[in-house]
Amino acid sequence: MTLLQVNAAIKPELKKRLQRYCFEEEQKQYVVIAVAIEEFLTKHGYTQEAEEE
């Protein structure tokens, strides 16, 4: 799998929540963020299948 880097600004409180979750669940931040973006885009109809058409 190829990964590309993107930059985004988030609120300090959201960053703290992300850090706490990743620490407690032993997850990498980039994995949690990628899953969240994937779920958000799928929910709004932007699926991989739609992009391939």
Across the range 18-36, mean pLDDT stands at 98
Instruction: Using pLDDT thresholds of 50, 70 and 90, give the confidence band for residue 48.
Output: confident
pLDDT score of 34: 96
Domain layout of the chain by residue ranges: 12-52
**Contact predicate 37/23, CB 8 Å:** no
Average pLDDT, the chain: 93
Number of other residues whose CB lies within 10 A of the CB of residue 52: 6
pLDDT of 23 over the 80 cut = yes
pLDDT band, very low/low/confident/very high, at 50 (cuts 50, 70, 90):
low
